[in-house]
Structure 1
């Protein structure tokens, strides 16, 4: 299928590893000029159509600098909002600072970036905003209270924005990963193993048993769905949260 996005420009946040890196490479392969943004860009592979840019989403000035750079270069057509996850932990006992820090990194930063880049999409009457969430938006994940809470707020923002900008040719969606085989998921598996006294292999085996497909997803599988959602053929998908979880989430 021709996604009809060759020649478009995209900003992919959190593009140095994991899901962000997979999406950045998938879009670059489609002929999209990708601004691959991350805190550390030195180790990024040299890939055609991929242009590394540095940003720290927890730093307001760094976010402002990124916005200014992209505005100077005419904005982007596609925005992939992807942030790292906060520390694992329960809802009880979280400090005010922990909540504020998580919200700044995961929510406030992407709200500001999206708001700044939207006018240029609206002017072109074409744009795609895709935010990477978590299965915890639908089914909260134990011991990930900060992530569950902040990502739920982002889901509400995304759905609201979708109804405001669709008439201008801009779609806004979320994509919700389940257990995708990334560094972040492996880190969480290790934390769970340490907490429960189990081996990492045992934790992963138990997780696979909860996934109807029977395995963790591959980053490139997730990226393929993301690439479709920001394509021209996906122009009638708006305000949706698409699960890529192998059937793990049991709710409707």
Structure 2
């Protein structure tokens, strides 16, 4: 199996913590040069210092706030114009706040749409020309199992994640002839800061302790545990590799079996 990414470059979004950071680390371990992208330069530089670089990789950071799509476009366009090219794009952005869809403000949908779909489109448009030129491209979107089964209490997230999934499938069909694959990784309950917040909110609303809520949520997962971010990263890294060249336009849950459909 060919998992070697030496000589490849990846733009990894949301990479200062959680799943994004774990993906950056795994890709670097496979020989890839990493550009970490997030809004916090200090945190980005700390992660950069920790990345494996013994294979001669050149790691760098790119500061951008996905709440400001026009700013993201200016930054990435200038970055690409300066000679930076990517064979791998990891679209990963923190999910919208919880709550029912019917109660959500219109602005909440607009913000989430910009942060996820619009910024994904901006980055894809910037990176795809070099992918086409090299005949090798991997666009991997970290979204949610809600694209298969909506998750109660995550109304805005369910809506926007579904839009991203269909955008991804459309791109997969359009870009397949150029050696570019577009796939989605769907994390289940993963031990991250976001999951901690979700557990705390659920516990507060139900009157249960955090420990009780954790056990209740784990009981819904056949694996009876939460995922480690590195396990989600492993799926993304495989999709980024040469061995995944014929996997295109799919949703891959990494959820311990929790999602109740195929």
Offset of residue 136 of structure 1: 1.1
Q: Distance in 1 between matches of 2:80 and 2:162?
A: 28
1:142 corresponds in structure 2 to: 152
Q: Is 2:238 the counterpart of 1:223?
A: no
- 4+ long deviations beyond 3 Å: none
Higher helix residue share: 2
Separation in structure 1 between the aligned mates of residue 126 and residue 18 of structure 2, nearest angstrom: 26
Mapped partners of 2:28, 2:61: distance in 1: 12
Question: Are residue 58 (structure 1) and residue 85 (structure 2) matched?
Answer: no
Tell me, in whole angstroms, the C-alpha distance in 2 between the residues paired with 1:198 and 1:121.
50
| Structure 1 residue 7, shift from structure 2 partner | 1.4
Q: Which runs of 5+ in 1 are unaligned?
A: none
**How far is the alpha carbon of 1:102 from its aligned partner?**
1.0
After superposition, give the CA deviation of every residue in 1:35-81 in whole Å (9 maximum; x if it has no partner). Answer: 01011131333123432221101112331212321342232000000
Whether the 8 Å contact between 1:71 and 1:117 is mirrored in structure 2 is no
Q: Measure, in 1, the Cα distance between the counterparts of 2:159 and 2:153.
A: 11
Contact 2:4 2:31 in 1 (8 A): no
Q: Which moved more, 1:43-52 or 1:96-105?
A: 43-52
Answer whether contact 2:186 2:254 (CA < 8 A) is retained.
Answer: yes
Counterpart of 1:248?
Answer: 258
1:194 aligned partner: 204
Decide which of 124, 128, 138 is 2:138's aligned counterpart.
128
Deviations 1:19-41 (A, max 9, x none): 00000011111111100101113
State TM-score, norm by structure 1.
Answer: 0.96
Aligned equivalent of 1:6? 6
Residue 40 of structure 1 corresponds to 40
* Partner Cα separation in structure 2 for residue 26 and residue 221 of structure 1: 10
2-side partners of 1:40 and 1:113: how far apart?
A: 18
Aligned residues: 252
Residues 164-183 of structure 1: pairs in structure 2 closer than 5 A: 164-183=174-193
CA distance 1:71–1:30, shift in 2 (3 Å): farther
TM-score (norm 2): 0.93
Counterpart in 2 of 1:116? 126
1:211 aligned onto 2:211? no
Structure 2 residue matching 1:215: 3-state secondary structure: coil
CA RMSD, Structure 1 to Structure 2 (Å)? 1.2
Task: Indicate how the Cα distance of structure 1 residues 203 and 71 shifts in structure 2: closer, same or farther if over 3 A, else same.
Answer: farther
- Distance in 1 of aligned mates of 2:84 and 2:105: 40
Q: Determine the C-alpha separation between the residues in 1 that align with 2:137 and 2:156.
A: 30
Q: Is the 8 A contact 1:171 1:238 kept in 2?
A: yes
